[in-house]
Amino acid sequence: MLRITDARTGHPVPAAPVRRGLTRVEVHAPAHGTGALRVLLVADVLVRALELDGTPVWTLLTGDHERADLRAAAAALGIRPFEDSGGGAAGLGGAQALHVAPAGADVPDGVLVEVADVDAPDAVPVEGAGPDPAARRLALLSERRDVPVRLDAAALGEAGDTLGRWRRTVADWARLPSRPVPEALRVRLRAAWEDDLDVPQVLRVLREVEDDPDLPPGARFETYAYADRLLGLELTREIGTHA
């Protein structure tokens, strides 16, 4: 079961009710900027982790100001849309509430999931990372959410190189017979994201899988496809595009 650190207390708590009842994920993001995108991205990955565990989720974006630019930038990063709260969040009885917000934000009662800021030089545009915005998504996921991240040209370039290599390799593995995800790897991946949404550890496991000569290519493929249900990097996008 996913456990998340409540920033109000500093202690880990279950992210979902014991009986898999509805969980409300409420996002408190600034109006614009890369910091706002990181808050939305953490919420997106949190929702994916809850859904992988079979938990029904209701997602809300708070605030009354215009958010068209933020929503467009979020969509480019593969962040699924959040419903406008419209003041209706309080009407949902006893649903578990998880509030995803920048550090220091003033939010209502409930579990507080804080997201550290992003240092993004002005030369790096908010709406994309070169030709593939998924490189920006990977760069933002490469640090734990409570650690500030620097999003400069070097970080985006490294993320773009990794993403391109992984997509090509996954496409190559897909040509060979499929094998199940090894149970030990499945356990490690789930243990990583269920431990306070430790996405960098998930990425470390994938790097080990990439370099492990003893794993059949089909098992590597299925492992990457499984992890991508959380990461949302479209790692299987190039299947069938290479001769």
Structure tokens at 87: 């003041």
What whole-number distance in Å separates Cα of residue 212 and Cα of residue 167?
Answer: 17
| 230-243 residue pLDDT tens | 999 999 999 988 65
Residue 238 is part of which domain span? 125-145+152-243
Scan for tokens 């650690």, then name that residue: 147
| 163-180 residue pLDDT tens | 999 999 999 999 999 999
Which of these three, 115, 134, 163, is where a domain ends? 115
Q: Is residue 120 part of a domain?
A: no
For residue 133, CA distances in Å to 182, 187, 193 come to 31, 30, 23
Residue 130: pLDDT over 70: no
State the chain's mean pLDDT as an integer: 89
The H-assigned helical ranges of the chain are: 34-52, 68-76, 134-141, 153-173, 183-194, 199-211, 217-231
Dihedrals phi, psi of 5, to nearest 5 degrees: -80, 125
Instruction: Give the count of beta carbons closer than 10 Å to the beta carbon of residue 154.
Output: 10
Q: Is residue 95 part of a domain?
A: yes
Instruction: Give 121's Cβ-side CA count (13 Å radius).
Output: 8
Q: Is residue 55 part of a domain?
A: yes
For residues 141 and 97, state if they share a domain: no
For residues 195 and 83, state if they share a domain: no
| 31-62 residue pLDDT tens | 778 899 999 999 999 999 999 999 999 999 98
For residues 111 and 131, state if they share a domain: no
The mean pLDDT value for 79-92 works out to 69
Q: How many domains does the chain have?
A: 2
What whole-number distance in Å separates Cα of residue 139 and Cα of residue 45?
Answer: 14
pTM: 0.92
The mean pLDDT value for 183-202 works out to 97
Q: Are 174 and 221 spatial neighbours (Cβ–Cβ below 8 Å)?
A: yes
Q: Is residue 84 part of a domain?
A: yes
pLDDT at 56: 92
For residues 34 and 65, state if they share a domain: yes
For residues 164 and 80, state if they share a domain: no
For residues 71 and 136, state if they share a domain: no
Nearest to 138 by CA among 170, 117, 161: 161
For residues 35 and 16, state if they share a domain: yes
For residues 34 and 100, state if they share a domain: yes
For residues 58 and 79, state if they share a domain: yes
For residues 63 and 173, state if they share a domain: no
Q: Is residue 75 part of a domain?
A: yes
For residue 191, CA distances in Å to 20, 146, 152, 162, 202 come to 18, 18, 30, 23, 9
For residues 235 and 131, state if they share a domain: yes
| 102-125 residue pLDDT tens | 988 888 888 999 999 999 875 455
For residues 108 and 176, state if they share a domain: no
Which of these three, 64, 97, 115, is where a domain ends? 115
Scan for tokens 């991205």, then name that residue: 41
Residue 20: pLDDT over 80: no
Residue 100: pLDDT over 50: yes
pLDDT at 165: 97
Confidence of residue 65 (pLDDT cuts 50, 70, 90): low
